[in-house]
Amino acid sequence: MPMGSSGAWCLDISSSPRNTAAPITAAPITAAPIISAPIITTPIIATPITAVSYVQDRVTQYIDVPQISVSRSETFVNQRVLTNQMSLTSENAPDVISALLVSEPTRAQIPALQLVTVDENGTIGSDNGVIIEAVNANTVQIEANTLGVSGNNAAITVNASDIQDNSAAITVNASDIQGNSDAITVNASDIQDNNAAITVNTSDIQGNSAAIVGNTSNIQNNSGAIAVNASGIQDNSGAIAVNTSGIQNNSGAIATNTAGIADNTTAIEAFVVETHDNSAAIADNTATIITNVSGISTNRQAIAVNTRTVATYSSAISANTSAIIMNTSGVSQNKGDISRNLNLIMQNTGMIKELRHGRAALAAMPDLYLQMDESWATSGGISAYDDGFGGIEYGFGGGVQLRLGDEASHMSFGLLGSVSGDTQAVRLQLRLGG
């Protein structure tokens, strides 16, 4: 309506806090002009306006008031805000009314009470039912939007909870996968350590076997040396016995010679004539004695040499005896070590065999799932595992998957089992789809 035209509109709205809803555009108000003198609207006692701002004759911020009186007259104050009264121009009145109704409310809005016209004397004119119906329709739409927002908030809360549960489940799965990876790594390391230990044990066994062969040869050599020493000792004993007999004979001869010398001395005294003959005999006897003394000395030296030789042989025999005892102890210890190594090798062999059977059994366990129109399904599998060490291990597996509920259910469970050699594996699985 042009600036300066007559007429007055008064909109009384009682409202409470409103929730956020989609904006609703209200139609401009059109009324017949009323020729009147300038009027002054009597202020209405109400709660003060929280905030009002104008940009290009529009209200851009929400006005939170329980009651507002909007008046339009022949004389206008374009932008004036009283404690409880707002005067607007004819151009911006519809926009202000629309903003009051739909400017992104943050709390619930109650229906408008009335819309009246007032002349310059303050006389109330006819009601405009169209505007009231529009306001009430906006209120209903706002309430519907409020319910929709509440429902969305509830759904968002549920989704947030589900997302949190999924995140926790993903974290648990990641931890389980990491644990399985760590266990596989540890098993691989243990197998590698066992292989290295088997290699070391094999080398030690070979070294022990070579040492046993060497010890056997040394024992045989010692036995031969002992036999030679025994023969030498026996020969020395015979020579010593011969020498002893010779010494005894020489001693007897010396005693005889002494008696002969005594007799000769008597004969010399008795028979001077025979002195020359006796002297020759004495000289002969003296030479014989000297010869016998030399033989005795030689025999003594031989006896001393034989004694030293016997002592040397005795020391060697004692050393050989100690070495034989040590070798016997070492051979006994080697036998114990070989027995323990053999037990460990047998244990490792059994564990490796069980591990190979377990891998073959796991490889034979089939995958199970249900099609949309299936209520149950079964599956089987066979595997051949060959890691290049112990030949091929075969595994056999099978299982069944059953749907829980009717054909529209997305939940099912399955029971699977597999076997390889004397190793068995069982798995229970639960599937939940969307």
Per-domain residue ranges of the chain: 9-127, 181-362, 365-432
What tens digit of pLDDT does each residue of 353-400 get? 999 999 999 999 999 888 888 899 999 999 999 988 778 999 999 999
Ranges 62-66, 242-246, 271-275, 277-281, most confident: 277-281
- The residues pairing with 402 across neighbouring beta strands, listed in sequence order, are 376, 413
Q: Are 124 and 88 in contact (CB under 8 A)?
A: no
Q: What's the rounded Cα separation, in Å, for the pair 198 and 341?
A: 8
pLDDT, position 433:
80
Place of tokens 């016998």: 292
Ranges 63-77, 218-232, 347-361, most confident: 347-361
Which residues are CB-neighbours of 8 under 8 A, at least 6 positions away?
A: 34, 36, 39, 71, 72, 73, 117, 118, 119, 120
Which residues are CB-neighbours of 204 under 8 A, at least 6 positions away?
A: 337, 341
pLDDT at 183 over 50: yes
Ranges 41-50, 73-82, 267-276, most confident: 267-276
Q: Is 240 helix (H, G, I), strand (E, B) or coil?
A: helix
- The residues pairing with 381 across neighbouring beta strands, listed in sequence order, are 397
Q: What's the rounded Cα separation, in Å, for the pair 46 and 238?
A: 153
More confident residue, 272 or 30: 272
pLDDT at 88 over 60: no
CATH topology of domain 181-362: Helix Hairpins (1.10.287)
Q: Name the least confident of 3-12, 165-174, 249-258, 306-315.
A: 3-12
Which residues are CB-neighbours of 163 under 8 A, at least 6 positions away?
A: none
Q: What's the rounded Cα separation, in Å, for the pair 315 and 244?
A: 26
Cα distances (angstroms) measured from residue 223 to each of 215, 306, 318, 325: 12, 22, 13, 13
Q: Name the least confident of 214-218, 259-263, 362-366.
A: 214-218
- In 3D space, the residue among 405, 401, 406, 407 whose CA is nearest the CA of residue 428 turns out to be 401
User: Which structure tokens are listed for 271?
Assistant: 């028979």
How much is the average pLDDT of 22-38?
40
Q: What percent of the chain stands above pLDDT 70? A: 60
More confident residue, 84 or 208: 208
At residue 163 the predicted structure's pLDDT band, cuts being 50, 70 and 90, is very high
What angle is formed at CA 141 by the lines to CA 140 and CA 146, rounded to 5 degrees? 95
